[in-house]
Amino acid sequence: MQASELITKGDLNEFKSELLTEIKRLVQVDGQGQSKKWLKSNEVRKLLKISPGTLQNLRINGTLSYTRIGSIMYYKLDDINKLLEGGLQ
């Protein structure tokens, strides 16, 4: 990268769009375009590239809501997408 090359807000917005599109493509269940509505903890960690402790912190501070069924925690894909887009507080 040369000193004369700058990254603009437009570049970052375009990158964000491309990244979200790619993430949505990766979580597709099958070739029919249906995607999962709920993800398990390990799927969320892989998707967000975070550690189990970071995911726990997101749960504890209320940043990411979840539903527990038995000993398994499930997360809404919509909530994860909102988190990525900066929509969840």
Rounded to two decimals, what is the model's pTM? 0.58
Question: Nearest CA to 67 among 49, 43, 41?
Answer: 41
* 4-24 residue pLDDT tens: 688 899 999 999 888 888 877
Residue 1 has what pLDDT?
54
Write the secondary structure of 19-48 as one string of H (helix), E (strand) and C (coil).
Answer: HHHHHHHHCECCCCCCECCEEEHHHHHHHH
Q: Can you count the helices (H) and strands (E) in the chain?
A: 4, 3
CA angle 15, 33, 78 (to 5 degrees): 60
51 contacts 15 by C-beta, under 8 angstroms: no
Residue 21 has what pLDDT?
84
Once rounded to an integer, what is the mean pLDDT over residues 59-83? 92
Percent of the chain with pLDDT over 70: 82
